[in-house]
Amino acid sequence: AQSVTQLDSQVPVFEEAPVELRCNYSSSVSVYLFWYVQYPNQGLQLLLKYLSGSTLVKGINGFEAEFNKSQTSFHLRKPSVHISDTAEYFCAVSEASGNTPLVFGKGTRLSVIA
Amino acid sequence: DAGITQSPRHKVTETGTPVTLRCHQTENHRYMYWYRQDPGHGLRLIHYSYGVKDTDKGEVSDGYSVSRSKTEDFLLTLESATSSQTSVYFCAISGTGENEQFFGPGTRLTVL
């Protein structure tokens, strides 16, 4: 079974500052990793995913994440945030075997301050 | 956007009443999932389906049942709703061989 820990439940950051949202996972098998974003009163939208290959993954809206197998981490970063990035961010993991259900972290609420 | 709709979008019901939530997709994807979202818990899997009439339980399946009689529809039923089932329910779909899941807009259910 897999588990995901998002280390920060809330992250406030000033506009145009960099941000890192931390995610650690636990699994006895190979995994796929995902970051989803949820804007207020909306569903979840995929930001980026790691399936294999390069450990640095680029996603939409200027976000990127780095897969670190030795530290079992998949931290999300953005060099300069905007007010519109205010949302809840979820890290998720699945077995690397196709169409297995996702296991989600509890989420990190990013608040961008003007 | 993936063609996923959920109905109803909002529902208020009373303890002990049956409730059915519907997820409808137009993508012809094989896999469908039901999650619930609660503050401080993220999203948790209730049930999922890997084909017509093929379903399996997730982490929080107690009190819920599902049915999938055709590819495009996945129904979630609360046989006798309880206040602990007040939540936002999300449906998701994925295609064969893919791991990316596409999410519907959610259903906000309140059980009084």
Concatenated DSSP letters for chain B? ---EEEE-SEEEE-TT--EEEEEEESS--SEEEEEEEETTTEEEEEEEEEETTEEEE-TT-TTEEEEEEETTEEEEEESS--GGG-EEEEEEEE-TT----EE---EEEEE-
- The fold of the B4-111 domain, in CATH, is Immunoglobulin-like (2.60.40)
Mean pLDDT, residues B51-79: 95
Mean pLDDT, residues B37-63: 94
- Kindly determine whether residue A106 and residue B41, on different chains, have CB atoms separated by under 8 Å: yes
Residue among A98, A104, A107 whose CB faces B99 most closely: A98
CB B111 within 8 A of CB B63: no
CA atoms within 13 A on the CB side of B65: 6
pLDDT category at A80 given cuts 50, 70, 90 is very high
Instruction: State how far the Cα of B91 lies from the Cα of B26, in Å rounded to an integer.
Output: 13
Tell me what pLDDT residue B50 has.
92
Report the amino acid identity of residue B27.
E
CB B67 within 8 A of CB B48: no
Mean pLDDT score of chain A: 94
- Kindly determine whether residue B48 and residue A90, on different chains, have CB atoms separated by under 8 Å: no
Interface check B1 vs A, CB under 8 A = no
Domain spans in chain B, listed from the N-terminal domain onward: 4-111
Tell me what pLDDT residue B40 has.
86
CATH number at residue A91: 2.60.40.10
Rounded (5°) CA angle B62-B18-B74: 70
Q: How many other C-beta atoms can be found within 10 angstroms of the C-beta atom of residue A101?
A: 22
User: Is the pLDDT confidence value at A6 over 80?
Assistant: yes
Instruction: State how far the Cα of B95 lies from the Cα of B91, in Å rounded to an integer.
Output: 14
Interface check B54 vs A, CB under 8 A = no
Mean pLDDT, residues B106-111: 97
Residues of A in contact with B96 (CB under 8 A): 98-99
Q: How far is CA A40 from the centre of its chain?
A: 17
Domain count, chain A: 1
Residue among A99, A104, A105 whose CB faces B99 most closely: A99
Instruction: State how far the Cα of A96 lies from the Cα of B98, in Å rounded to an integer.
Output: 10
Q: What range does the domain containing A65 cover?
A: 3-113
pLDDT category at A41 given cuts 50, 70, 90 is confident
Interface check B25 vs A, CB under 8 A = no
pLDDT category at B2 given cuts 50, 70, 90 is low
- Kindly determine whether residue B90 and residue A49, on different chains, have CB atoms separated by under 8 Å: no
Tell me what pLDDT residue B35 has.
97
Residues of B in contact with A94 (CB under 8 A): 99
Interface check A102 vs B, CB under 8 A = yes
Q: How many other C-beta atoms can be found within 10 angstroms of the C-beta atom of residue A81?
A: 23
CB B31 within 8 A of CB B96: yes
> A34, exposed or middle or buried, with CB in 10 Å at 0-12, 13-18, 19+?
buried
Interface check A45 vs B, CB under 8 A = yes
Tens of pLDDT, residue by residue over B10-47, are 999 999 999 999 999 999 999 999 999 998 889 999 99
User: Is the pLDDT confidence value at A15 over 70?
Assistant: yes
For an interface test with B, the pick among A52, A99, A104 (most B C-beta atoms closer than 10 Å) comes out as: A99
B36-45, B62-71, B91-100: least confident range:
B91-100
- Kindly determine whether residue A49 and residue B100, on different chains, have CB atoms separated by under 8 Å: yes
